[in-house]
Structure 1
Amino acid sequence: MTTKAWGAHAGNKPLESLDIVRRAPGARDVQIEIDWCGVCHSDLHTVRSEWPGTRYPCVPGHEIVGHVSAVGSAVTGFKVGDTVGVGCLVGSCRHCGSCAEGLEQYCENGFVGTYNGPTADAPGHTLGGYSQRIVVDQHFVLRVSHSEDRLAAVAPLLCAGITTYSPLRHWNAGPGKKVGIVGIGGLGHMGIKIAHAMGAHTVAFTSSEGKRQDALALGADEVVTSRDGAQMKAQAGSFDLILDTVAASHDLDAYSNLLKRDGTLVLLGVPAQPHPTPNIGSLIFHRRAIAGSLIGGIAQTQEMLDFCAQHDIVSDIEIIRAQDVDKAYERMLRSDVKYRFVIDTRSLAG
């Protein structure tokens, strides 16, 4: 089925209107009419070939919310009209150890990304959510229970939400725990909201004193200006967990030194250049850890969506037309958005 989409034919070309073909729903497939698609920094990296391996034409988008328009004969969990989401994954081997544990994001045979992943469908790689329609195996489709008027702001939960929820849950954020969130952007603002809702004492770190009130409004109990040595020193040895959402190379010791014994600094951003080598002594003598975390499995992503619906958590967004994506990318690079762009896919019609 021919579907309107927005994508690029090369990394040095602007995005443009494309006609793509979606497969007819198979027995296990769910066909979704996309209403909203969030714009992630990964979209920019991929479509502009800033990460290796981009295949063209490239249609980005893995923060998808829409409604079911058709289901295959073997689909049991969804029906036409259901409100659903699709995140970063549309496939995995389903039989390795990680998949068996519901950790499809760590599939030992390689998960299939919602865009730029291998597929038997033409053109040989997956095409993402900057489009009017998508067809996905039912296992990778998620239920959305937020109200209709919140759906645009739900879309970024499918990446930014789960990317922060997963480590917060894995490292047991909650009452009695002190959690830091480094960076108040697309990921960081969700981390603040979710950590606060989990009942953790939540501290936001920002390099800009001007973001203090914004961070408090998002739910932070405290705000620390990371460039202020006195403020940072006052927090030394007090954190159970710190999520570092910054995707630029920076000094990790500034944050690992704030951990308690047995505390963990979790890295969520992938910098273009490596971080400076951390002080190993600080880790050894306090049994501190530096770890990483990648989105979440399907079951945990559903758990996150349900948690966010229960606590009325959505992303702070700015709605744009597909035709304005390149401008949105440039604004993202300047951190000129609070805090996530979302495409209204009705704009694809003309």
Structure 2
Amino acid sequence: MEPENNTQISEFILLGLAEEGELQPLIYGLFLCMYLITLLGNLLIILAVISDSHLHTPMYFFLSSLSFVDICFTSTSIPKMLVNIQTQKKVITYADCITQMFFLLLFAGLDDLLLSVMAYDRFVAICHPLHYTVIMNTRLCVLMVLVSTIISSLHSLLQSLMVLRLSFCTDLEIPHFFCELDQVVHRACSDTLLNDVVIYLAAVLLAIGPLAGIVYSYSKIVSSIRAISSTHGKNKAFSTCVSHLLVVSLFYCTCIGVYLSSAATHNSHSTAAASVMYMVVTPMLNPFIYSLRNKDMKSALKRLLGKKTSKVPIVMRFKICL
């Protein structure tokens, strides 16, 4: 391939969710509200975990990491979309498109891997409660997040480099509100067979692998819960997993929905609309799922927001130290 092929274009055109001009203000307001709710909700989760010593446990460490990833995930696409609607421009430069694609793949992969890590955490907590603090030590928790980050970074880097080798001539309109990998690849005028193979292999490994880990963890969890004699013990053990199960179900159901939507219809705008679920709705709902069903998190959020004062004020602690 000749190196000058990659310089034939300088920008793509993001068509967005709808071509009708009268719908743009509605889409702008809706996405702005969802984005602000996503930022506020996930930021509150992170601040609550940091500020409350009772939440300095592996489960909440992974939860705060997931919240941080969700903030980054939505921030890679929604602000650009809002700016495009506001300025009535649909252009994204070639370099910005590749950069956006890299970070979208990075944070999407991290979301997937962190959900698998959180499932392992629940498996250890329920199946090996006496050894939980020994197994899930700080070093292992940080290592699992670091390894997940490295794996996701390598995947996104590979996909981005694979796109850089393609030549783009015409048909630079992307029927999406962000630079979606498959859409960008199939706008190339050079052979994309190798790209398609890498995309599908990576999708299988990054989707089936973590999902298999989640299914295995919960199969062991269910077996352990069934072995508990008291009903109260069963309910208590299961309640620690409900929030995570809801988030996992939401994440994978929306991803599967987008895949089925793209496979069943050739309408790219329908696929773009379906992708809103895992791009915006899922990160927005995660904080509500974890906070509404978790007494410790609700208490931490109340203290953080000043609705409930602790028995020993933080000010008094500083005075004692002085």
- Fold in common (TM above 0.5): no
| Greater relative contact order, per chain length (Cα 8 Å cut-off, separation 6+) | 2
- Normalising to structure 2: TM-score of the pair? 0.25
Indicate the structure with greater helix content.
2
- Normalising to structure 1: TM-score of the pair? 0.24
